[in-house]
């Protein structure tokens, strides 16, 4: 089985690769492509400088602009006539010698012998560069007022402009001067890369360990939760994402604890509710077998008890299975526009034989023509469970009130019993499983899952529901009405 790499190892590897990529890019930019960048910038600088000097041609400050521009941009500048006679020249060192047009008296040099004259004082500052002939040829060939080209040996960029007075402005920018700089940078980058990669290895290891430690703690806590400890110590404070992961894991642990407690409660309650009918079935079966078999009247009575308890057991098991399926979202809702008024009347009709036999009275106030979009079978089950719950909690009057009204675009259904009501502190728990089973008067009548099933169905339908328990106890729900024919 292939061993997977840890988070720290992966983080360390990617950090090192990232550092190596950064230095590779830096190496390429500072050595391989530096000459190209320099040449491109030098050419643009020379072109812009030449255009700036040409704009000042004929002005009083023309030569001053040439001197300043040549010094600032390291240019070699000549102004000649059409025959190639030098009228003026300048370079970046011009400022060290002064202006060639000054007299000897203005430029006395204490380090020279008396009467000794420098070449620049004679008016011969420097000779024309070898590229001048090519510049003049290209100007004549192009037929335009300006040209620019790189010399054949790639040593310089030369641009020339024909000035307004017919003179020629020649500007040269050296391109090979960056070679020495590249050699120095290459030597420095070798050491910088070596030292930086070593530092990167160390830093990546430290960072990966720091990230790995809280993740390992979270993994250990997750294993504790899997082992049944739902309150492990979770690390926090390293970073927002891991804090969020810790909070999520803590919430998951609490939900798992709650689910486990609910499972235990379910098993305890189901065991309790199943034990009673099973005990009765077994007891009456033994009674029929041993005592009442020969007594037809008593045998029939005992068998009725067995049948009733078997039916109760079947209903309980069915409700448990239905409730589990709803919580697991395995029940498919079949939505459609239904006549809610008719559906409720049909459910009330199902209680008629029971009411006649046991003296119960259902007061129905059902508005006609109220339609909603819902699963008719599921909504009928909610109505049945609400009425069944009221039957088991009403007072001695055995009176139950059922109503359906339309208001503000909603269909509101209410079932009211007139029993003792529900204590205020118990109201938040009435929808819990088996709550009703633990608090009802007639514990043999229902399973205790009726309200829980009703809540699951109504929640799936997006309905609102609740209970009012001041004088009488009223359970209600509201569904969005499709239309109200009776309104």
- Crossing angle of helices 240-287 and 296-327, rounded to 10°: 170
pTM of the model: 0.43
Residues 6+ apart with CB under 8 A from 29: 37
Q: Quote the CA–CA distance of 399 and 358 in Å, as a whole number.
A: 12
Q: Give the per-residue SS3 of 27-62.
A: HHHHHHCHHHHHHHHHHHHHHHHHHHHHHCCCCCCH
Q: Which class in CATH covers the domain with range 34-174?
A: alpha beta
What architecture (CATH level 2) is domain 336-484? 2-Layer Sandwich (3.30)
Q: Quote the CA–CA distance of 208 and 343 in Å, as a whole number.
A: 65
Which residue reads 């002064």 in tokens?
98
Q: Quote the CA–CA distance of 235 and 213 in Å, as a whole number.
A: 10
Q: What is the pLDDT of residues 387-406, one digit of tens each?
A: 888 888 888 888 999 999 99
Split at pLDDT 50, 70, 90, the class of 469 is confident
What architecture (CATH level 2) is domain 240-327? Orthogonal Bundle (1.10)
| Contact (Cβ atoms closer than 8 angstroms) between residue 337 and residue 371 | yes
CA gyration radius for the chain?
50
Please determine whether the domains at 240-327 and 336-484 fall in the same fold group of CATH: no
DSSP reduced 3-state for 9:
helix
- Among 53-57, 65-69, 180-184, the minimum mean pLDDT is found in 180-184
- Per-domain residue ranges for the chain? 7-32+181-222, 34-174, 240-327, 336-484
Report DSSP letters for 448-482, one per residue.
S-HHHHHHHHHHHTT-EEEEEESSSEEEEEEEEEE
Instruction: Provide the pLDDT for residue 101.
Output: 45
Question: Mean of the pLDDT values across residues 104-132?
Answer: 53
- Candidates 415, 412, 347, 411; CA nearest to 376 is 347
Q: What is the pLDDT of residues 309-329, one digit of tens each?
A: 777 677 667 666 666 666 555
How many CB atoms are located within 10 Å of the residue 115 CB? 6
């Amino acid at each position: 089985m292939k061993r997977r790499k840890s988070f720290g190892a992966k983080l360390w590897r990617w950090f090192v690769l990232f550092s190596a990529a950064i230095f590779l890019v830096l190496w390429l930019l500072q050595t391989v492509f530096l000459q190209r960048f320099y040449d491109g910038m030098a050419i643009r600088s020379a072109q812009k400088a030449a255009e700036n000097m040409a704009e000042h041609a004929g002005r009083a400050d023309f030569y001053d602009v040439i001197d300043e521009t040549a010094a600032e941009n390291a240019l070699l500048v000549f102004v000649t006539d059409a025959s190639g006679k030098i009228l003026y020249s300048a370079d970046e060192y011009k400022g060290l010698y002064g202006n060639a047009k000054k007299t000897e008296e203005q430029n006395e040099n204490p380090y020279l012998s008396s009467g000794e004259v420098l070449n620049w004082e004679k008016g011969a500052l420097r000779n024309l560069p070898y590229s001048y002939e090519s510049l003049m040829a290209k100007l004549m060939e192009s037929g335009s007022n300006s040209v620019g080209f790189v010399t054949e040996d790639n040593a310089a960029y030369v641009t020339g402009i024909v000035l307004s007075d017919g003179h020629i402005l020649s500007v040269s920018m050296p391109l090979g001067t960056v070679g020495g700089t590249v050699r120095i940078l290459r030597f420095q980058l070798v050491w910088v890369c070596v030292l930086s990669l070593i530092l990167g290895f160390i830093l990546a290891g430290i960072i990966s360990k720091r990230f790995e430690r809280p993740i390992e703690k979270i993994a250990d806590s997750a294993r504790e939760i899997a082992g049944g400890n739902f309150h492990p110590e979770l690390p926090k404070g390293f970073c927002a994402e891991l804090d969020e992961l810790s909070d999520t894991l803590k919430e998951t642990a609490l939900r798992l604890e709650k689910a486990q407690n609910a499972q235990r409660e379910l098993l305890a309650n189901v065991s309790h509710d199943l034990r009673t009918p099973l005990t009765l079935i077994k007891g009456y079966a033994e009674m029929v077998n041993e005592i009442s078999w020969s007594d037809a009247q008593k045998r029939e009575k005992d068998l009725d008890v067995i049948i009733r308890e078997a039916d109760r057991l079947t209903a309980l098991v069915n409700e448990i299975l239905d409730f589990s399926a709803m919580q697991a979202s395995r029940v498919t809702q079949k939505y459609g526009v239904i006549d809610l008024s008719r559906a409720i009347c049909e459910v009330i009709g199902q209680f008629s034989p029971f009411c006649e036999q046991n003296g119960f009275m259902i007061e129905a106030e059902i508005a006609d023509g109220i339609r909603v979009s819902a699963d008719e079978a599921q909504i009928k089950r909610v109505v049945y469970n609400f009425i069944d719950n009221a039957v088991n909690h009403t007072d001695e009057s055995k009176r139950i009130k059922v109503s359906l009204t339309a208001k503000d675009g909603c269909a509101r259904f209410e079932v009211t019993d007139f029993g003792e009501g529900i204590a205020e502190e118990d109201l938040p728990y009435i929808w819990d499983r088996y709550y009703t089973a633990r608090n009802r008067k007639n514990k043999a009548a229902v399973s205790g899952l009726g309200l829980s099933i009703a809540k699951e169905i109504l929640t799936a339908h997006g309905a609102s529901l609740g209970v009012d328990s001041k004088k009488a106890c009223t359970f209600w729900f509201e569904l969005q009405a499709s239309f109200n024919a009776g309104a």
